[in-house]
Amino acid sequence: MKAIVRTQPGPPSVLRLDPSYPKPAPKAGHIIIRVNAIGLNRAELRSRNGDPPAKPEFTSDDLYTETPPAILGEECVGIADDNGGSEVIRKGDTVAAYFCGIGKAFDGAYAEYTRVPARYVFTLSTTLPWGLLGAIPSTFMTAYGSLFRALHIRPHDSVLVHGGTSSVGTAAIMLAKLEGCKVAATTRQKSKVDSLRQIGAKAVLIDGGDESLSKQLKAHETFKDGVDHVLELVGPDRIADAWACAKPFATVCITGVLTKVWALDKWSPAEGIETGKKLTTYQSARDLNSESLGEGMAKLVKDVEDGKIDVKGGIGLTLNGLESIIKGHEEMEADRVTGKIVIVLD
Ligand SMILES: NC(=O)c1ccc[n+]([C@@H]2O[C@H](COP(=O)([O-])OP(=O)(O)OC[C@H]3O[C@@H](n4cnc5c(N)ncnc54)[C@H](OP(=O)(O)O)[C@@H]3O)[C@@H](O)[C@H]2O)c1
């Protein structure tokens, strides 16, 4: 089969097309997926570079490895080509998989076929085109999990998305807006302000500018007292500024590490967390072990079909063919895209 392989750690050019990589063999308890669309993720950029992952990026500690497989790609949608004896998934079903070890603990989705443990494969009942479906699994499920399973947002709440132009950030803005929340979001680039407004951000703050985020936020009438929830996607080392945007009794959820820093930096919880404010995290890979995630995925797909979520508005770039993954990595590396990069296979 054709696959994009990582030849060594490094820039996008270390990714090369291999026209005759061995197709995964059928295995009991595993689904072979004929890949139709691939969503790119920031974690794949880190793996490509050889940055070590963190344990919570794996479904369990025993899967942890610092060395990524030859084929990266942590999510895909496609058709079940072999069901490995599953009683739930049939050959020919439309399926999705993400963050269950593909492209991290074993060969991933940058290929015509990939093999995934059946327990982590979602069956999707939908006629959405691959180019839209490919943008949903990891990104919208991470946004969904962060907002509803970690932060517990409710209608009329206010939410700050720190790292608003990331794929997870744009999805979170849309989902929070759909829930009836007032949303503020950040970017480092003034050129991206309009795109954040278009997808529903009521206030857009410039990160790293002359004024702190909290000063910019509180200048808006709607957010003058701060926000009820902060979704932190930039990183724990940048949390102090976002934290200052949180109201008393607000909750802050650390989901992202765009700065690639996993730990709090010289930030004392005793000084930073006033009584009543709460800190939580969301880790998709760990949450995949929960039984109830399928309902969330089904609801997201239905909301997209019903036109309640404009998933197209959350896609920054769609490319065609396996080889375009290299171009996708170049765009991601340069932070040129607002939202998700989707690769559609022929
Ligand atoms: N916990 C989980 O389960 C989970 C799941 C998925 C993703 N994540 C994490 O969530 C984050 C977002 O992932 P993604 O795939 O959505 O990212 P992405 O789409 O690749 O995000 C790209 C955007 O992030 C911003 N950015 C990049 N580096 C930054 C930095 N050093 N400081 C501030 N902003 C920076 C840039 O926006 P501007 O230039 O506009 O500022 C850039 O355009 C990542 O850290 C990813 O690893 C976590």
- In the chain, where the domains are located: 3-123+310-344, 139-284
What whole-number distance in Å separates Cα of residue 230 and Cα of residue 243?
Answer: 7
pLDDT, residue 238, reads 87
If you search the block for the tokens 């559609």, which residue do you land on?
344
For residue 41 and ligand 1, the question of a CB distance below 6 A is answered with yes
Which residue bears the tokens 């909750």? 251
Rounded to the nearest angstrom, the distance between the alpha carbon of 302 and the centre of ligand 1 is 26
| Phi, psi at 39, each rounded to 5° | -95, 135
Global pTM reads: 0.96
Helix (H, G, I), strand (E, B) or coil at 311: helix
Residue 276: DSSP 8-state? T
Residue 267 pLDDT > 80, yes or no? no
* Residue 255 Cα to ligand 1 middle (Å): 10
Q: Using a 6 Å cutoff on CB, does residue 167 contact ligand 1? A: yes
Q: What is 201-248 written as a DSSP string?
A: -SEEEETTSSS-HHHHHHTSGGGTT-EEEEEE-S-GGGHHHHHTTEEE
Does 139-284 carry CATH code 3.40.50.720?
Answer: yes
Question: CA 156, CA 4: separation in Å to the nearest integer?
Answer: 45
| Beta strand pairing call for 182-187 and 113-117 | unpaired
The residue-averaged pLDDT of 245-262 equals 94
- The set of residues, in sequence order, having a beta carbon less than 8 Å from that of 289 and lying 6+ positions away, is 59, 60
Q: How confident is the model at residue 142 (pLDDT cuts 50, 70, 90)?
A: very high
Note the pLDDT of residue 135. Answer: 97
> Roughly how many angstroms between the first and final C-alpha of the chain, as a whole number?
13
Pocket test for ligand 1, best of 149, 166, 342 (most atoms within 8 A of CB): 166
Closest residue by Cα to atom 42, ligand 1, is 335
**Contact by Cβ (8 Å): 123, 84:** no
Coil, strand, or helix at residue 36?
A: strand
110 touches 12 (CB < 8 A): no
319 Cα: distance to centroid of ligand 1 (angstroms): 20
- pLDDT tens digits, one per residue of 280-334: 999 999 999 998 899 999 999 999 999 999 999 999 999 999 999 999 999 999 9
Give the model's pLDDT for residue 274. Answer: 85
Tens digit of each residue's pLDDT (9 = 90 or more) over 84-132: 999 999 999 999 999 999 999 999 999 999 999 999 999 999 999 999 9
State the fold for domain 3-123+310-344: Quinone Oxidoreductase; Chain A, domain 1 (3.90.180)
Does residue 203 have a pLDDT over 80?
yes
Q: Is 51 in the pocket of ligand 1 (CB under 6 A)?
A: no
Mean pLDDT estimate for the chain: 95
Q: What is the pLDDT of residue 158?
A: 98
Close Cβ partners of 171 (under 8 Å, ≥ 6 residues apart): 139, 140, 142, 143, 144, 314, 340
